[in-house]
């Protein structure tokens, strides 16, 4: 791929690496590439980060044809920078684009574009503990029309943001509210796709959760509001009687890269992982009986997030005395050890950016 480079006159001041938070700062450059039916994907450019001019009738502003991804670049102790399973994000975006009837951005181009931009912005990859450079690729329909049809033109963009922990709590357990009124996804819908529309519909749950003093919302299945599915910004796993339970990937749950990696590691360690429908009643009962040993979320932004409390209807369940569980901590250490290059990557998941 031929990538043009447009240099900016002045570079931004870098933020304090100990106070990054999540998604607040953006780097100097972004990657942009356009698609139309006549030319296919064309005009790849790394240009100064800045506004994207848009006609008020642009399709994405009306009918939300938009997909996105999230991955990270990590600074290793030897100074090198590495990515974690970027091809999985590329493939998931291809599936999201297919579902939203958008131009598919090919896997090799995705990985090449990510690497090229991260290389240009290598000074922005932080080195403080638990920090990384969050990579946000996204694509949207750019055609100007109010007709509801598959758009004919798209833009693929990558922006970068140096980040710390997603939750203010860091690695301290968070409290989660189980949503039993609104739903996030139904079979045949877009639940498995990473598209902005899914998140727009889920904000109401997040608002309710925050009002209830919780960090996030736990969604139940859309048909019966009975089975546990996923949390606002991460997949979720439960350790009950020594075994792990997590919702299956059957069209309504996001196929998380961290979810997949943790399942691999757990199986490697000899754990039984049940990718099965677990009802909220069984879960609460296990909690009441003291059989719910640990709960944790998995996600690129959230990494491994211990859950210390579950609020469902009038009941509040405390998990593991609101402390991080032994397995949760071990998984966090293993995963982040591989991601930051402190542990041997025996699964071949990391790629150095050169
Ligand atoms: C990620 O983990 O990368 C996500 O996309 C979650 C995000 C919505 C904050």
pTM greater than the 0.75 cutoff: yes
What pLDDT score was predicted for residue 171?
A: 86
Dist CA 159 CA 134 (whole Å) = 9
Number of Cβ atoms within 10 Å of the Cβ of 283: 22
Q: Which distant-in-sequence residues (6+ apart) come within 8 Å of 309 by Cβ?
A: 173, 174, 175, 176, 214, 316, 317, 318, 319, 322
Could you tell me the distance, in angstroms and rounded to a whole number, from the CA of residue 317 to the centre of ligand 1?
A: 26
- Looking from the CA of residue 258, the nearest atom of ligand 1 is 2
* Rg, C-alpha atoms of the chain: 21
Dist CA 260 CA 253 (whole Å) = 12
Most ligand 1 atoms within 8 A of CB, residue of 255, 300, 335 to mutate: 300
Dist CA 236 CA 205 (whole Å) = 16
- Looking from the CA of residue 299, the nearest atom of ligand 1 is 2
Dist CA 80 CA 353 (whole Å) = 8
Dist CA 247 CA 235 (whole Å) = 8
Ligand 1 atom 3: residue of nearest CA? 70
Ligand 1 atom 5: residue of nearest CA? 70
- Looking from the CA of residue 300, the nearest atom of ligand 1 is 2
In tens digits, the chain (354 residues) has pLDDT values of 999 999 999 999 999 999 999 999 999 999 999 999 999 999 999 999 999 999 999 999 999 999 999 999 999 999 999 999 999 999 999 999 999 999 999 999 999 999 999 999 999 999 999 999 999 999 999 999 999 999 999 999 999 999 998 888 778 999 999 999 999 999 999 999 999 999 999 999 999 999 999 999 999 999 999 999 999 989 999 999 999 999 999 999 999 999 999 999 999 999 999 999 999 999 999 999 999 999 999 999 989 999 999 999 999 999 999 999 999 999 999 999 999 999 999 999 999 998
Dist CA 249 CA 172 (whole Å) = 28
Dist CA 118 CA 123 (whole Å) = 9
- 69 - beta bridge partners? none
Q: Taking CB atoms and a 6 Å cutoff, what residues make up the pocket around ligand 1?
A: 70, 233, 299-301
Strands 3-5 and 40-48: parallel
Strands 216-220 and 174-179: parallel
Could you tell me the distance, in angstroms and rounded to a whole number, from the CA of residue 39 to the centre of ligand 1?
A: 31
Is residue 251 within 8 Å of 192, Cβ to Cβ? yes
Could you tell me the distance, in angstroms and rounded to a whole number, from the CA of residue 10 to the centre of ligand 1?
A: 30
Is residue 351 within 8 Å of 79, Cβ to Cβ? no
Is residue 31 within 8 Å of 116, Cβ to Cβ? yes
Could you tell me the distance, in angstroms and rounded to a whole number, from the CA of residue 238 to the centre of ligand 1?
A: 20
Most ligand 1 atoms within 8 A of CB, residue of 69, 301, 303 to mutate: 301
């Amino acid at each position: 791929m031929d990538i043009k480079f447009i240099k900016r006159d002045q570079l931004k001041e870098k933020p304090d690496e100990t106070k990054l938070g999540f998604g607040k700062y953006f780097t100097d450059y972004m990657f942009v590439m356009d698609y139309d039916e006549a030319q296919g994907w064309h005009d790849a450019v790394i240009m100064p980060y800045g506004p994207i001019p848009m006609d008020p009738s642009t399709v994405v502003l009306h009918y939300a044809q938009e997909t996105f991804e999230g991955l990270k670049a990590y600074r290793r102790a030897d100074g090198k920078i590495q990515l974690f399973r970027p091809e999985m994000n590329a493939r998931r975006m291809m599936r999201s684009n297919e579902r939203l009837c958008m131009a598919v951005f090919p896997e090799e181009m995705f990985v090449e574009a990510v690497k090229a931009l991260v290389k240009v912005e290598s000074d922005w990859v932080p080195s403080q503990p638990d920090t990384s450079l969050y990579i946000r690729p996204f694509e949207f329909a750019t055609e100007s029309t109010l007709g509801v049809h598959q758009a004919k033109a798209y833009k693929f963009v990558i922006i970068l943001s140096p980040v710390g922990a997603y939750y203010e709590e860091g690695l301290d357990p968070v409290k989660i509210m189980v949503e039993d009124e609104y739903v996030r996804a139904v079979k045949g819908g877009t639940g498995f796709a990473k598209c902005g529309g899914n998140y727009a519909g889920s904000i109401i749950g997040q608002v309710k959760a925050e009002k209830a003093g919780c960090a996030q919302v736990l969604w139940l299945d859309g048909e019966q509001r009975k089975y546990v599915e996923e949390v606002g910004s991460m997949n979720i796993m439960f350790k009950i009687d020594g075994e792990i339970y997590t919702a299956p990937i059957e069209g309504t749950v996001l196929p998380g890269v961290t979810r997949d990696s943790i399942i691999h590691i757990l199986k490697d360690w000899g754990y039984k992982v049940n990718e099965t429908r677990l009802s909220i009643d069984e879960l609460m009962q296990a909690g009441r009986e003291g059989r719910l040993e640990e709960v944790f979320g998995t996600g690129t932004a959230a990494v491994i997030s211990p859950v210390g409390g579950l609020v469902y209807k009038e009941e509040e369940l405390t998990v593991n005395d609101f402390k991080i569980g032994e397995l949760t901590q071990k998984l966090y250490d293993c995963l982040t050890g591989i991601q930051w290059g402190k542990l041997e990557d025996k699964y071949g998941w990391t790629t150095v950016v050169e």
